Amino acid sequence: MPEGPEIRRAADKIEAVLKNKTVEKIEFGLPALNPFVRPLQGSKVLSLETRGKALLTHFDSGLTIYSHNQLYGVWHVVKRDKLPKTNRQLRLAIHTDQHSALLFSASDITVWETQHIEEHHFLKRIGPDILNPSLAWRTVADRLQSKAFAGRALSSVYLDQAFLAGLGNYLRSEILFIAGIHPSCKSRDLSKGQIGKLARTTLEVSQRSYSLAGVTIPERQYKVLKKQGVTYGKARFFVFGRAGKPCRVCQTKIQRSTANSRRIYTCSTCQRIGAINTT
């Protein structure tokens, strides 16, 4: 499933061709949404907002399209009516005079009056968006220490969209590694310094992944690996997907395990309980 950085990058591409443009034609692959075709056609797109893994397309007609890619949804931005070759089902198509924004495979699509969008069941239960520019590390630290999350293993907290919307499996492994925190730890058992380190790292890694298209290691280090001929897939992470490979910090073999029914990757040296990684 794409995580917050991937959804925001998709939104940027869509917004680049739709914002302030008139919708000449709109198509829904879900028949229940067809009554909204008429009120949306002829309206202008105001903005594309992301809330974690959900995307909100706001129109000047007072309507908002809510969409969630789920596991298989994917957006394409193309020249008007130049449909990509795919066996996927087209679920939503927004056409301007020059471009088309196409959502394939996703089925979680609804249309709301913008003034009532906050009533959506998913939006009501999620926490702050991980890429919200106004989200401060102190807010993250406070949430880590709150009653709702302090007593739970961080492996669980960092998949819970009620904690921070947009976090996901690869971000979980990477954030906890860079912060030097073992996934089994609970934030109530961490020191003040560890909480601060983890909160700052949470924002830094998420923002880095957004700006570098899914790369979570520092840009300078990534460029060195690329010059050495290492592919994007093998160079982008510290630990995620690197089971059995040497840790980029200490050379210990990265371990893969399962937490909350999802794979997770750790370094037994860098993430000892009580240790803080200086990466």
Active-site amino acid positions: 2-3, 53, 262
Q: Output the six-digit token pair for 6.
A: 């991937």
Measured at the alpha carbon of residue 237, what is the angle toward residues 232 and 242, in degrees to the nearest 5?
A: 100
CA distance 202 to 207: 9
DSSP secondary structure letters along the chain: ---HHHHHHHHHHHHHHHBT-B--EEEESSGGGGGGHHHHTT-BEEEEEEETTEEEEEETTSEEEEEE-TTT-EEEEEETT-----SSPEEEEEE-SSEEEEEES--EEEEEEGGGGGGSHHHHH---BTT-TT--HHHHHHHHTSTTTTTSBHHHHTT-TTTSBT--HHHHHHHHHHHT--TT-BGGGS-HHHHHHHHHHHHHHHHHHHHTTS--S-HHHHHHHHHTT--HHHHS-SSTT-TTSBPTTT-PBPEEEEETTEEEEE-TTTT-TT-----
Residue 271: count other Cβ atoms within 10 Å of its Cβ. Answer: 25
